[in-house]
Structure 1
Amino acid sequence: MVVNGIDVTIDGLQDISEQEIVNYIQYVEKQTSEKLDTLHISPADNGEVHIDYALQPQKFERIRRITGYLVGTIDRWNDAKRAEEHDRVKHGMH
């Protein structure tokens, strides 16, 4: 089932309400400060529930050190800095 855009699976719990699922989603997202991708709810010992979850993948931007600066891209560099990058000795290239 999908609740609030999150793929939710439930094993062994027939009487769980949608509001309870929403509460679990909100709890996990508050604890992790991340958005959920999937949530799996199953019974645990002593009447509690066991929650497994996966978070949405984070966007990743590559950062490199070029001519002494940490940069993602050089598209905003001026001509002088682009020339410096072009003329530098690149190590580890075969």
Structure 2
Amino acid sequence: MVVNGIDVTVNGLNDVSEQEIVNYIDYVQTQTKEKVNSLKLSATKDGQVDIRYELQPQKFERIRRITGYLVGTIDRWNDAKRAEEHDRVKHGLH
């Protein structure tokens, strides 16, 4: 089932309302401070609820050390620094 745009699987819990599922989603997002991609609720042997979840992938920017600087991109470099990067010896390339 899909609740608030999130794929939800419920196993062994026959009486779980949609509001309870929304509360579980809110709980996970509050604890992790990230957006939930999918949620799986299962009953344990002792009557508890097992919550398993997948968070949405985070975007990240590749950071490299170029000519002594940690950079993501070189689009803001001046001409001299761009020339230094162009002329450097690149190791490990075949």
TM-score bracket, normalised by the shorter chain, equals over 0.9
Normalised by the size of structure 2, how large is the TM-score?
0.93
How far, CA to CA, are the matches of 1:29 and 1:64 in structure 2? 31
Normalised by the size of structure 1, how large is the TM-score?
0.93
Unmatched segments (≥5 aa) in structure 1: none
Cα shift at 1:91: 1.3
**How big is the alpha-carbon RMSD for the aligned residues of Structure 1 and Structure 2?**
1.0
Task: Tell me the number of residue pairs that the alignment of Structure 1 and Structure 2 aligns.
Answer: 94
Cα shift at 1:45: 2.6
Q: What's 1:3 paired with?
A: 3
Cα shift at 1:16: 0.5
Moved over 3 A (4+): none
Q: Residue by residue, what CA displacement relative to the aligned partner does 1:28-74 show, whole Å, maximum 9, x if unpaired? A: 11111111110000111322111111111111211100011111111
In the TM superposition, 1:1-94 aligns within 5 A as 1-94=1-94
Unmatched segments (≥5 aa) in structure 2: none
